Structures are given as C-alpha cells and as structure tokens.
C-alpha cells in the first residue's frame, strides 16, 4: 500500500518542476508525513497522478537517489532511505584556487552553519570552463550556492566575471545565491553578497602605514603577472595611486628574484604571493639585514605564520567573510555588505 502524499507545484515559479518535486518529498520527510523505509509511487504512477511528464519525474527521482534520499529496489519500487542528508540543505561553496585563505572562509562558514547543511567546497582554478561545467552539474544536486568569482582572460589577466558566468549566475534563484568578493549588475534582483574593494582597501591600508613607509627610500610592489591564478587589477591600481598621491618613489616587480641587490638599498616591499615573501625573508637573513630597519616588508593577506614571524599585513578578514555568508544563509538575508579590511602593523615595518 503506497501512502498518498501531496506534491506542491507552483506553476508561476522559475524553479524547475523536477526540483519542486524533490523539495516536496524532502519537506514531507522532514514533517513526518513520509517515514524512512516507506514506499513511494513509481515514476509512471507519480506522472499519471500529478500530470507530469515522465521525464520530469525521472529527473526528480534521479536527483533524490543522488542525494541518497530515496533508494530503488529492482522489481519492487522506490523507498525513503535512511540518510542524514534528508533534512539538511546541500550547499556548494565554489572558490577560485586552493589556499589557506580560502580554507579560512570555508571553515568559518561551515562551522557556523553547523548541522543545518552539508557544505561541499569546489575549486575551479580561475578557469571559466571548469567553473561553468561544475556549476551546471551542481544546479541539479545542490540547494544553495556560495561563490567567489575570479577568472583569467585570454591574456592571463584577472577578470571578476565573464559574460557566460554572469548568465549562469543569473539563472540561480536569488534566495539560493551568495556571492563573495565581487558583485555584478548583470545579476538581477536581490541576493546576498560580501564584497571587497581591492583598489581602495589597499590604498587606505597603506595610508595607515604612511609614516613608517616614508622612512624608506623606495616602496616596491611584487605583483605577479601572467600566472595561472591572477590577482585583481585593483591591487595594482590602488598601489600606483597611493604612491603618486604621496610622492613616493616606487617600482613594480613580477617576483622576488634570487640574489637581489638588497645591501645599501633601504626599500620596503609589498608582497602578495607566499613564495615571494619566503624568498625575500630568506635573502634578508642571508645578508644579515635588519627587518623593519634596513628592509621593510608588508604582506598581502593575514596568516597565523605571518603573525608568528612579526610580518606587517594588509588583509581582508577571511573569517568574517565566512561568518557573514553563514549568517545570510541561516537568516535568509539578501543584502550586499563590504567585508572588513585591516592594516596590522608588526616589526617588519
């Protein structure tokens, strides 16, 4: 005997009907209307009962099986499975590259969300095709999407969005989307966003360290170009404007080169990549120079190791970003907020 249950369909909704079938079944399980081990209608039975196409029901049941909410038994039918995923939202968190900073965002988000959801992190390496393919597949599997949007163009330069990415993001229901780092006017309607202002954040942070920076003869930004995971151009723009506005002698390098001429040059370096910071500190130590006296260092993005080593940093608050995204998810907020950015002065300046 198969219990009758109600499939709630809103014909005016932009949510696909197969997804509404999934949501209805999950809701009935959560409300105790359907119990674990209980048999549900076959694909043909539900199609006839609710006037759906067979393809629509088949797509819904496939998704329910992928999420382990139902199981099928050959010759017997479909049954509600015993799965902890039944009453939990599945969230896809997409980041552009693997790094300790991205893990800070993931950990703070997942820890605050707690038992309310299953959080899966996916890395797309700034690649548009990989991003689009992953997200297209995820649209059929996940209920909620938290996305950092960073890509490289054909010239290997950074871009926050591409036309294809905007169209894909615009297809996600607004109450299921949170963007991190960047927003785009092409994504219509109200949705959650926690953004950075790469240009002004860097500019304003360097202003806070201006008096110390003026003690050096030159300020040098180590800004890697043409790399697989490029950095926002706003960082470069903010640095140039800061130096020009304050009449500072400056230079921009692609990397910290081995055996650089550090002696008799009282410079302060702003490093972005970890390997450049490590290489610079190694050479400072080799030349017996005094960090914060002979050579200054400001590093982009805070880590526990930089705190331990006494490295001055300018950094967005990654923990705060993850927590803000979790708060938006938990409390169903659709608002745009700017993430805190900090200047933390230590002995390296």
pLDDT in tens, 113-135: 876 788 999 999 999 999 999 99
Residue 165 lies in a domain: yes
Average pLDDT over residues 17-38: 82
Residue 343: pLDDT over 50? yes
Mean pLDDT, the chain, whole residue set: 90
How far is C-alpha 312 from the geometric centre of its chain's CA atoms? Answer: 25
Asked if 185 and 95 sit in the same domain, the reply is yes
pLDDT in tens, 170-203: 999 999 999 999 999 889 899 999 999 999 999 9
pLDDT in tens, 314-341: 999 999 999 999 999 988 999 999 999 9
The span from the CA of 97 to the CA of 99, in Å, is 6
* Structural domain span for residue 67: 17-80
Higher pLDDT, 12 or 325: 325
User: Using DSSP, how many helices (H) and how many strands (E) does the chain show?
Assistant: 12, 17
Asked if 192 and 103 sit in the same domain, the reply is yes
Residue 6 lies in a domain: no
Residue 48 lies in a domain: yes
SS3 73: strand
pLDDT in tens, 130-177: 999 999 989 888 889 999 999 998 888 999 999 999 999 999 999 999
Asked if 191 and 331 sit in the same domain, the reply is yes
Number of folded domains that form the chain: 3
Residue 347 lies in a domain: no
Q: What's the confidence (pLDDT) of residue 27?
A: 78
pLDDT in tens, 248-294: 999 999 999 988 888 778 999 999 999 999 999 999 999 999 999 99
Could you identify the residue written with the tokens 């393809």?
A: 55
Asked if 135 and 221 sit in the same domain, the reply is no
The span from the CA of 152 to the CA of 230, in Å, is 7
* Domain CATH number, residue 183: 3.40.50.2300
pLDDT band per the 50, 70, 90 thresholds, residue 1: very low
Q: How far is CA 252 from CA 15, 156, 163, 235, in A?
A: 49, 18, 31, 12
CB burial class (10 A; 0-12, 13-18, 19+) of residue 306?
Answer: buried
């Amino acid at each position: 005997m198969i219990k009758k249950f109600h499939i709630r369909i809103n014909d005016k909704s932009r949510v696909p009907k197969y997804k509404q079938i999934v949501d209805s079944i999950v809701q009935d399980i959560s409300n105790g209307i359907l119990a674990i081990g209980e048999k549900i209608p076959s694909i043909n039975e539900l199609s006839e009962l609710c006037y759906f196409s067979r393809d629509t029901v088949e797509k819904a049941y496939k998704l329910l099986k992928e999420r382990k909410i139902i199981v099928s038994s050959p010759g017997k039918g479909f049954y509600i499975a015993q799965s902890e995923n039944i009453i939990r939202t599945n969230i896809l968190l997409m980041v552009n590259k693997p790094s300790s900073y991205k893990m800070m965002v993931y950990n703070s988000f997942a820890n605050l969300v707690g038992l309310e959801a299953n959080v899966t992190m996916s890395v797309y390496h700034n690649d548009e095709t990989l991003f689009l393919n992953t997200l297209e597949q995820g649209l059929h599997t996940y209920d909620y999407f938290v996305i950092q949007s960073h890509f490289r163009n054909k010239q290997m330069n950074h871009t926050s969005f591409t036309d294809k990415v905007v169209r894909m993001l615009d297809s996600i229901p607004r109450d299921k989307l949170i963007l991190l780092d960047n927003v785009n006017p092409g994504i219509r309607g109200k949705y959650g966003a926690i953004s950075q202002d790469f240009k002004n954040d860097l500019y304003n942070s360097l202003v806070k360290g201006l008096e110390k920076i003026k003690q050096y003869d030159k300020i040098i930004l180590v800004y890697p170009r043409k790399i697989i995971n490029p950095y926002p151009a706003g960082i470069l723009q903010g640095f140039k404007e800061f130096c020009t506005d304050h009449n500072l002698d400056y230079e921009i390098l692609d990397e910290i080169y081995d055996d650089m001429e550090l002696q008799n040059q009282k410079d302060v370096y702003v490093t972005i990549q970890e390997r450049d910071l490590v290489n610079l500190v190694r050479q400072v130590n080799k030349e017996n120079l005094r960090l914060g006296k002979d050579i200054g260092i400001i590093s982009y993005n805070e880590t526990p190791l930089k705190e331990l080593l006494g490295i001055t940093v300018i950094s967005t608050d990654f923990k705060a970003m993850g927590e803000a995204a979790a708060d938006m998810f938990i409390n169903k907020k659709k608002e745009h907020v700017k993430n805190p950015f900090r200047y933390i002065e230590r002995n390296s300046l």
